[in-house]
Every structure is written in structure tokens, then in C-alpha cells.
Amino acid sequence: MRLLSARIDFSDSDNPGGPRLRCAFGTPRQTLVAHGLAQVRPVLNAVQAAAAQGFWCVGYLRYEAAPAFDAALAVHAGPVADGPVAWFAVYDEALPWPRDDDASAGTAQVQWQAACPRPVFDAALERIQRAIAEGELYQVNFTAPLRGALRGGPGSDAALALFAALRRAQPGGYAAWIDTGDEQVLSVSPELFFDWRAGRILTRPMKGTAPRGTTPAEDAAQAGALRTSAKERAENVMVVDLLRNDLSRIAEPFSVRVPRLFHTEALPTVWQMTSDVEARTRAGTTLADVFAALFPCGSVTGAPKVRAMQMIRALEPQARGVYCGALGVVRPSEQGIRATFNVPIRTVTVRGAAVRCGIGSGITADAAPDAEWQEWRHKRAFVERASMPFDLLETLALEGGHLRHAAEHLQRLAGAAAHFGTPWDAAQVQHCLHQLAQAHPQGLWRVRLLLDTQGQARAEAFAMDASSPRPVRLQLADRPLMEVHGEFVRFKTTRRAHYDAFTPMQPGVFDTVLWNAEGEITECTRGNVALMIEGRWVTPPLACGLLPGVGRALALREGRLTEAVVRVEDLPLVQGWAFVNSLRGWMGAERV
């Protein structure tokens, strides 16, 4: 197999839902590298010249390249420890994307550690907001790295496997994999920095974030709240104004315009707000001129850019590296060249076994520490999803050769597959279950139906005792489950460490009743919970953070249950308990 050193999977900026630029690259004919600031402009000039001659150029600029264009842009001084400030490979041609890409990638695992404890985070926000109150600036994009160790194979093999997982976790957008030999850059950024062709330049800054909802109605409400949030709109407008000013440096007079403002985009774990700013570039504008006008993108600095970058250097103790720089492709076109770069957020860099991924957000005058901290948690969900292999899971009862509530379980599994971007073949899954049922025509069995990342189903059957003890004993968790609103609670998978941490240790205790940070009861670790209060059976609503169990849904449909928020402080009012899931049905319970 021919060695591949880069892959590009870019959305068409003018037609995001249309055909993608999806290609791979073999051994480069040459590399263009800037180890110091004085070499950055010459490298960009060489890239433009190569593309004009018919070659493809793929590469990146680190955030620390900024002073090459303006000495007032503050970054951490001196050489960047983890690589050159600019790197591009020049290729004779673009190759087809490998057909067996995901199937041959294998698996990779990363255990991440955050580098910014909450007290450090709070202190940084306080300092930023004090500077805003004193009129120094309007906004600062504050970031910190996650660091970890990569396991799963030698060097670039593990990095490529992680890239495949990242693309499944964050599909679409502007994805790229670059292997320089010393490091691998794995970007699944949803943000377009700029697309420049035929004298037209388009930028699409991304500013404004909201979490995805746990139900379709809540999801729509989150999107609506983002679109109408005064804080998020103000944050977006600040960056739009900054980009308009930056573009004016290379634009024909009166050509800068904003054709789209406050557009919400649905990503797997968050809603993001983007706006379009475009212009016609002046005759004679070069690629280096474009970078001199725009780099770094205002969405990852703040406003005004010079003062914001000074604050960033003071608050962030390390270089950002490729994160928040620019990564993209410069290629030949009928009109000369076409340059498309992303803003490398949602980007992982790998050096040996060491991995790094930056997370951040824009801090404004009315930013609330708790809300910003939660935004960081939502933004890092994509990399956490990709960093540990998992299968989608359904647990069914097989009794006398009949699969109980199979249609409901398959519907839920299909929903999980859609959420995680897992290929879904209903006929293949049903055939897998049918074969298992035929092999176990008698008795009671617990069936584990698994769907892997390639969409391949497998099923396992385990003998089950029909005489489960009743009532079962339940204990209350001694601390809140912090991940209640995460996707590994809302969808059933084999990733269960957050549940396993609450496994009962006391003999005779069947399960643990969980509750969230707001003190609301949510579910048990293996099923839903029902509580009798004031003579009626209730179960927590999905908004509290819990799995939408099949048994729970059936009980709600039958009218046996209604939804109601129950707090830990309300538990003395509980007159009865029940454990509910599809496998075991309705089981009377008592609290230890």
C-alpha cells in the first residue's frame, strides 16, 4: 500500500451539504518549513507559487506564527517546543480517499487529563472580566489543553485510528490528518477560517455555543435559545466586526459584506452559531497578504485582537501550537489558486504517545463561570467520545424463543446509531437477532445486542433466573452523578464507567438510585426508577438526565407512570419504590 502522509475531508463552503473535497496524499515532492518567524512569509509565497504551477499543498501555521505578520500580536516568545511555526507538504496530485479507511484503522485509546483546575479557570475569568470592566477590551478567548497518552498501536497507526474515531464523533466540517514524521495533526474542526478563490474570500467565524437537548423538543429549544441569547449574539457580533475590519485590509473598497448572521449549526454534542463575512480581494493580493490581514482568526483571540492576545499570553502558560492556528489546502484552480483553511479547534496533536487537545471559549462581560465551565465540558465531549472504543448496546429478554419488545429496542438502537454516526442496516440487525432466537427456542435468556462502529451487529445470550427476588433493595448514591446530561447516559453503550462507579458493594443491595448535581433523582445504574408520592407512581423526566428505558416508556404509555421531578429532599415523602426495565419488568423495591 502506498504511504499516505495527509488526508483532507473538507466541506464545500458554498454548499455544506453537497460534495466534499475528500482526498489523500502520498509522499510529498518537497516540504516547506518555517522554524522561525522570518521564514513564515517566504513559506507562504512558496506555497502559492507551487499551487499556481499545478501542485497541491497541505499544511498548517501554528498560533505562534502571528508575529510574523504583526509584531504587536503577542505569543509565547522563543521556539515552539512541539514543532515548526509553519509546515506545508507539496504534492504532485491528490489521490482517492482510501476505501477501507475506517475498517482498517483499528482502535486507539486515550486517557485525558485537564490542565486547568476549576480555581485557575475562575481566577482567569475574574481577571478577564475585570479588564473588560476597565475598558481594556471586549472579549477574550481563553483556552487550556487536555493532555493524555495514546495507546492502540505504533506511531501513526494509532494516530490514524484516533482520527477515524474523531471523524465519527465530529462528522462534517473541515477534517484533516497530517503526518509530518515528527508529529501527527488530527483536526475535525467545524469552523472555516477562510476560503479564497477567484478574488472572493469568505470567512465563517464560529462564536456562540449551547448544548444539544436530551429530547427533540428540548433540542429545538436549545437552538432557539442560542439564536436569541443576547450574550451569545453579542459575542458573535464582536467577532464579525473584527473580521470585517480585518478583511478591509485586503478588500476592494465597499466590498465587505455580511450575507448571513447568527446561523445555528447542529453538531453531535453542541449547537454552534456562525456568521458569514465576505469580500472581494484587491488585485495583486497574495496568500501571505491574506494571512497578514486575518491571522489568527478573531474567533480564537477576542477583541480587540492585539490586547486580547496580550491577555491570552498572560493567562495561558503554554504555547497553543497548531490549535487555534490555521490548517488547510492550497490547490490549483482555473482562476489561479484556491486556498481553504480551517480554524483548528476540535484538533488533536500527537507526538509519539503524547497527545494534546485544546478547549476554550469566548469570555465576555456577562459570562458566568458555571456556564462557561459547562461549555468547556460540552466542547470536550467529542474527544472523549472518540478516545475509548465502545459499542452501542441493547439488552432484551428472550423467552420461549420470543424477543420481548424487540421493535422498541430496535427503534432505540437506530436512534443511537443516528446520533453517533454508526452505519445502520436494520435487516442485518434483525437477522442477527433471528439467528440467536432460533438457537435458543426454550427458556429465559438475557440477550446483549451489540452494534460496533462499523455497523456490524452481534448478539449474545445468557441464561436468566426467572425467579428474581422481590422486592429488591435499592441504595441512594452518596454523591451526584456529574455526567447525567452526557450522551453516554442518554444512549445505551458499553461505556459504563460512570455507572460502574456506583455499583453497590453492600451484600443484598440490587442497585443504586442516582441523582444529579441539582439534587434531582434520575435513575438506577441498570434501569429506571419509579416512586409513589401522594398515591401516584412517578418517574423522573428525561430532562433530569437519564436513559429513556423501554420498560419506562411502556409504563408511561400504559398510564401506570407519569413524569415528575423528585428531589433528594423529597424522599421522606416517598410511599413506595420500584425498579423498571424491559428485561425484568416492574420490580417492587425498598430503599436501604
Catalytic residue numbers, as ranges: 191, 207
Cα–Cα distance, 356 to 114 (Å, whole number): 10
Q: Who's near 385: CB < 8 A, 6+ residues apart?
A: 165, 169, 268, 269, 420, 487
List, as one string, the DSSP characters of 529-544: EEEEETTEEEE--GGG
Say how many C-beta atoms besides its own lie within 10 A of residue 17's C-beta.
8
List, as one string, the DSSP characters of 307-359: HHHHHHHHH--S--TTTTSEEEEEEEETTEEEEEEE---SEEEEETTEEEEEE
Q: At what angle do helices 118-133 and 305-315 cross, to 10 degrees?
A: 150
Q: Who's near 360: CB < 8 A, 6+ residues apart?
A: 141, 142, 143, 144, 300, 324, 345, 376, 379
At residue 45's C-alpha, the angle toward residues 195 and 14, to 5°, is: 10
Contact in structure between 111 and 146 (CB atoms under 8 Å): no
Q: Who's near 491: CB < 8 A, 6+ residues apart?
A: 392, 415, 416, 419, 420, 547
Cα–Cα distance, 418 to 458 (Å, whole number): 18
Q: Is the torsion defined by CA of 563, 565, 567, 572 positive or negative?
A: negative
Q: At what angle do helices 40-52 and 287-294 cross, to 10 degrees?
A: 130
Cα–Cα distance, 499 to 491 (Å, whole number): 13
Cα–Cα distance, 233 to 221 (Å, whole number): 16
User: 380 — phi, psi (to 5°)?
Assistant: -80, -5
Give the residue among 468, 405, 403 at the shortest CA–CA distance from 441: 403
Strands (E), 400-456: 402-403, 444-451
Contact in structure between 191 and 379 (CB atoms under 8 Å): no
Query: In a 10 Å sphere around its CB, with 0-12 CB exposed, 13-18 middle and 19+ buried, how is residue 55 labelled?
Result: buried
End-to-end CA, the chain: 61
Q: How many CA atoms lie within 13 A of 105 on its CB side?
A: 24
At residue 563's C-alpha, the angle toward residues 562 and 569, to 5°, is: 120
At residue 248's C-alpha, the angle toward residues 247 and 253, to 5°, is: 130
CA distance to 35, 298, 325, 372, 485, per residue, from 229 (Å): 43, 20, 28, 14, 21
